[in-house]
Amino acid sequence: MRIGQNVDPGKTALIMGGGSRLDFADLEERSLAWARLFRAHQITEGDHIALLLVNSVAMFDVAWAAQRTGLYYTPVNYHLSADEAAHIVADCGATALIASAELAELATDVVARTPGLALTVLVDGAAPGFRTAADALAEIGDAPVEDQRDGTFMFYSSGTSGYPKGIVRQLSGEAFTGLTPMAPILSGLFGMTADTVYLSPGPLYHAAPLGWSMGVQGLGGTAVVMERFDAERALALIEEHRVTHAQFVPTMLRRMLALPDAVRGKYDLSSLKVVVHAAAPCPVELKRAVIDWLGPIVHEFYAGSEGTGFFVIDTPNWLAHPGSVGRPAIGTVHICDDDGTELAPGETGTIWFEGTPDFAYHNDPEKTAGAFNDRGWSTLGDLGTVDEEGYLYLTDRRGDLILSGGVNIYPQEVENAMSLHPAIADVAVIGAPDPDFGERVVAVVQLEPGATADADELITWTRDRLAHFKCPRVIAFTDELPRLPTGKLLRRRVREQFV
């Protein structure tokens, strides 16, 4: 089988935002060359490789090579420290590290901390301790790659608290199909086909950007991949390539909406059929504004890299249930208290999933066991409620919960209210020790460029919108809050800095 097996090999498989292109024939041959290289170094079915790569053509060359030779491939977040990145490379048991020249300094540090790698290659440029891709691939012939088997990605959690954890699934053992596990979801839930042109604006070391881009290519569609997100450039790419499907995180949506009307209005977005957002909570007012702008084509999903608990909601259902992340596309949802008792609709508890795929946290049986209960249900550790119709509403992460005076306070609710203030660009709400109440609410605020607001004004604003016990008693200001490119807040780092 080949990638995009049912389309003309001359059809475009990949367009990078900077203009580089690959057709399906190129992608096939380039991935086969890397597959031969892995086989030549005895990297075979069930082995792991690590990818320290920027958004680039090379990511697809190498990832598809692993996908077709039964390997686990782990993209590494290059925004991590050298210690964190080396932990991932060592923890996943990588036998090879493939890196971008742009990340050579980090890659060299990682190699120094993880001895025993059988193959270290820089895809462009040169660095001590690495072979160049040109030299490594030139030594490999063009013999057929026999007995191709489906591999799979092995992503690591975002590491918002402690070291990231690998999420491992069993290899299928099946012959290479030219597809990825995401293909049925993309076609079944979002209508993607060989005619799809999909815009991926996020970093490929995260599950959705890489998984969805490769999933589209497996279906015979075209992936348009931005090297890095820029609000106006995203609109220009939609117009230029007649993008039909796009996926964003709420931060990206906010930045596009913040463009002047004249800028947004000059781009033809009429090719769009589906716009998806995920990865972080989206305030109700922001989503309403996006729907007003783009029309009833906005979809949302809620899931984890673990592959469990996939919820979806389209525009009409969201307008009828504002704030919901939808109903489960796979399995059944249960809301339970700390004793495991199932709660009634409208009550807040831990979200559990029944009838979803199994997963495990690599090298962490204790964390794996904690993600399942005695009924075999799994959880991501999130809190939420369901309504009478079975629509799920996220409340917060259990670890982020603030307990003040015996009352539960959910940071996300406070952040959503504060983010509506015109001077606030970003906000994080955390709990700080309090001698009387146990914890008190602290808001760390990033102001819009040129905007001014003092603490008293922001506290009053919040009290006009929420019960006073939920509102911050302390406001701290920062130039920039620590977020991953996916939009996920690194709340641990906020606590380290301000508590």
Residue 423 sits in a domain of what CATH number?
3.30.300.30
Q: Is residue 119 part of a domain?
A: yes
User: What are the structure tokens assigned to 128, written together?
Assistant: 């001590």
Residue 284 lies in a domain: no
> Distance (Å, rounded) from C-alpha 159 to C-alpha 153?
17
**Rounded CA separation 26/490 (Å):** 39
CATH of the domain at 168: 3.40.50.12780
The residue out of 144, 161, 179 marking a domain boundary is 179
Q: What angle do CA 262, 268, 270 make, to 5 degrees?
A: 130
% of the chain beyond a pLDDT of 70:
98
Give me the domain span that covers residue 460. 401-498
In-domain check, residue 333 = no
| Distance (Å, whole) CA 30 – CA 9 | 13
The 10s digit of each residue's pLDDT in 338-373 is 899 999 999 999 999 999 888 899 998 988 998 999
- Helix 231-241 vs helix 250-257: crossing angle, to nearest 10: 90
Asked whether residue 302 is assigned to any structural domain, the reply reads no
Residue 56 lies in a domain: yes
Determine the straight-line distance between the first and last CA of the chain, rounded to whole angstroms: 55
Sign of the dihedral through C-alpha 324, 467, 253, 218: negative
Question: Which of these three, 152, 179, 206, is where a domain ends?
Answer: 179
CA dihedral 143, 144, 145, 150 (to 10 degrees): 160
Element holding 142 (H helix, E strand): none
Q: Please, are residues 192 and 198 in contact by the beta-carbon 8 Å criterion?
A: yes
Residue 160 pLDDT class (50, 70, 90 cuts): very low
Per residue in 191-249, pLDDT (tens digit) is 999 999 999 999 999 889 999 999 999 999 999 999 999 999 999 999 999 999 999 98
- Burial of residue 229 (CB within 10 Å: 0-12, 13-18, 19+) is buried
Give the three-class secondary structure for 31: helix
* Rg, Å, the chain Cα set: 23
pLDDT, tens digit (0-9, with 9 covering 90-100), for 296-353: 999 999 988 888 889 999 999 999 999 999 999 988 999 999 899 999 999 999 999 9
Q: What is the pTM of this model?
A: 0.85
- Residue 264 counted as domain residue: no
Give the number of domains in the chain: 2
- Show which of 147, 179, 211 is a domain's final residue: 179
Tokens of 14: 């990949």
Which structure tokens are listed for 90? 């060592």
Is residue 409 in a domain? yes
For residue range 447-462, what is the model confidence (pLDDT) as tens digits?
999 999 999 999 999 9
